[in-house]
Structure formats: structure tokens, C-alpha cells
Amino acid sequence: MIVLGIESSCDDTAVALYRPGCDEPFSEKVSRQYKIHDPYGGVVPELASRSHLEALPHITRELLDDCGIRPEDVDLVAATAGPGLTGALIVGLTFGKSLALSLKKPFVAVNHIEAHMFAATAEEEVGYPFLALVISGGHTLLAVVKSSTSYEIVGRTRDDAAGEALDKGAKILGFPMPGGLNLALAAEKGQRGTPDGRRFPRSYLKPSLDFSFSGVKTALLYHVERTRPSSEEAKNNIAADYVEAIMDVLVKKAMLAAKTYGINTIVVGGGVSANSRLRELFKNRCQGQRKNVRVIFPSMPLCTDNARMIAARGLRVYKDKGPSGLEADVFSTFIDQDEA
């Protein structure tokens, strides 16, 4: 089985081939757009759509050629159908549907959040139920996952997503795009608990499993306005304290959710799951008082937006539910219409 996955929900255009059972099941080509958007300080939807349109045919051809696969060898085409930027989604979806139609192969529409939620399961067998922690630029949620088709969201952010708080924090500290990644790299170089930084507030909203990150972001803004850090070292130290506050809440709330629901496996997904400090904090917890909890992370290429997870989730959805109609509504796979 050869699955072609297409991801175009935001500012990365990605195509991947997924061949389950092979030694190296994934091959991928990615075209990143942050240089296009950086002068504007954020993703410009119209520029994103145009860039997807330009990149998709080229990277798909390159991917197939590099893997020595003919288009007609592809058995299934999967594309992200949402949530994301509407224009950007339409480009990838239309490309995928057209390709499937011309090749007379089935097409399947994939929910981007579900793709993050199940990304790690493409690399490692994980039993049900598990607790999913999805942490991306647009979403932060905890879900009790009962099967590949059934899950219940038990906590979500009430304001900013964790990745969004990192991106906005990067902007406050003057780091270029991709902000969250640059902030995380700065934090790795910096030191926590120096006079440059401060202990940023953590919002736990107990007993709820919801999150809130707007307070910590505002605290960073006031701290930077007050202390006006100019040296790289000072900014790195502040970044280290800021990242710590966000990761601390994510880890503690995921652990609390696991305890609340009596689940011993936590599966993390989404761009923020690439963070080294998050991984370290989870590890410390699981080596400490919560030895019975296992935390599973996707490998790096499956963390931030990628087409591998779309191909893998596409195959699962196809097996569970069959193909999507080619007329499929762009918004039909949204978890929650309010988040469109």
C-alpha cells in the first residue's frame, strides 16, 4: 500500500509517501514559507495559499521521482481538510482530489488535529485508551482516546494555544519567524532563575483540565517593557523562564488528566511536542513520583506540521470509514466549527 499525504493548512507545504511495513515507511518533501511571512510578523493567508499552489506540483513530482514511484503506483491520496487557513486548505484539498480523480484512486480527507493526536501511533504501537496532549500553534487540548475513531476532548485552551503563546512571546522578545522554534532555541542557551528573568505565572484553572496562556504572555510583555533587555544573554534567560512556565503547566495538567481518568499512557503531538524542555520535564516526572506513566512522543519530523501524519491518519480513516467523497465539504472534518 502506498499512501500520498498532502498538508497545506498553514505555512508549510508538505507531501509524503507512507509505505507501512517498509524499513523506512516515510519519505517527505517540505517547502517552508516563513521567509515569505517574516516581514509581516505573521502568516499572511493569501501569500500562504499562493505559495502552496506554486510548491505542490513541484515537491510532489520531486518526491515521486526520488522514491522511484510512478503516480499510478499510489493507492490512496490523503489531504488535510481542516482546521486551518481556508484558502490554504482548499489548495491542498483540490490538488489531492484532482490527483486522485485523474489516477482513479480513492481520496480521503484528514482532520489536522486528529493527525497530530495519532501521529506517534504511526511509529509505535500504542494500546487504547490513551490520553492525548495535542499542542500546536492553533490548538491545545487533552483528549481521552478510546479507539482510532472515538475520543473525548476533556480539556482545551480558553484563550491562546501553547504554540501561539510561544510565537507571541518570540515577537515580544524580538525573535524572527519561526518564532516558537527560535524562542525555544534561545531558551536552551539561556538559564532559568537569573535576575534577567522572573518566575512567570502559571495558570492551572483547577479543577478544570482547561488551559489558559494569555496571562503568562501578558506577564512577559510587562516584564520586557519594564526591564528592556538588550543583550542576547538577557533575552535568552527570559526565554528560558518563559518556556519553563508554559511547559510546566502542560506537563502538570497532562499528568493530572491521566490520574483523573486512570490512564497510564500519554501520547503527545503537535509542534510544541518538539520542545526539548517539555520532553525533559515529562521524563523527570515519570522517573519520579509517577513511575507508572508512560509518555510517548512522535519523532521530530512528525511533530511540527508534516504530511507524514496526514498520510498515516488518512490510511487509518480509509480503513475505518472508507473514502471521502470527492465533493467533500472543506469544513466537514472540523472537530469544532467555532475554531474555523
In whole angstroms, give the CA distance from residue 226 to residue 174: 15
What's the CA angle centered on 11, arms 63 and 2, to 5 degrees? 30
Q: Where are the alpha helices (DSSP H) in the chain?
A: 34-37, 45-67, 86-103, 112-118, 162-173, 179-189, 214-227, 232-260, 276-287, 308-321
Q: Per-residue string for binding with ligand KG4, 4-43, x by CB under 6 A?
A: ------x---------------------------------
Assess 167 for contact with ligand KG4 (CB under 6 A).
yes
Q: What mask of x and - would describe binding to ligand KG4 in positions 284 to 303, judged by CB under 6 A?
A: --------------------
> Are 200 and 147 within 8 A, CB to CB?
no
Question: Under rule CB under 6 A, how many of the chain's residues touch ligand KG4?
Answer: 19
The rounded distance, in Å, linking the Cα atoms of 303 and 286 is 21
128 to 147, contacts with ligand KG4 by CB under 6 A?
136-138
| Piece of 16-24, 64-72, 158-166, 198-206 that binds ligand KG4 (CB under 6 A) | 158-166
Determine which helix (DSSP H) or strand (DSSP E) holds 33, and give its type and residue range.
Answer: none
Minimal distance, residue 10 CB to ligand KG4, in Å: 6
Three-point CA angle 292, 155, 203, nearest 5°: 90
Is 184 a binder of ligand KG4 (CB under 6 A)? yes
Contact flag: residue 157 with ligand KG4 (CB under 6 A) = no
Question: Is there binding between residue 270 and ligand KG4 (CB under 6 A)?
Answer: yes
Q: Does 281 bind ligand KG4 (CB under 6 A)?
A: no
Q: Does residue 275 bind ligand KG4 (CB under 6 A)?
A: yes
Residues in contact with Zn ion by the rule CB under 5 A: 136, 305
Q: Which is nearer to Zn ion, 43 or 255 (CB)?
A: 43
Residue of minimal Cβ distance to ligand KG4: 180
Residue 272 is a binding residue for ligand KG4 (CB under 6 A): yes
CB of 111 to ligand KG4, least distance (A): 12
User: Which set of grid coordinates corresponds to residue 212?
Assistant: 489558559
Residue 222 has φ and ψ, to the nearest 5°, of -65, -40
Residue with smaller CB distance to ligand KG4, 22 or 300: 300
Q: Using CB distances below 5 to 8 A depending on partner kind, what does residue 272 bind out of ligand KG4, Zn ion, none?
A: ligand KG4
How many helices (H) and strands (E) the chain has is answered by 10, 10
Residue 310 · residue 77 · CB < 8 Å: no
The smaller minimum CB distance to ligand KG4, of residues 59 and 246, is found at 246
Q: How many residues does the chain have?
A: 340
58 Cβ partners below 8 Å, 6+ apart? Answer: 31
Would you tell me which residues interact with ligand KG4 (CB under 6 A)? 10, 116, 136-138, 163-164, 166-167, 180-181, 184, 270-272, 274-275, 304-305
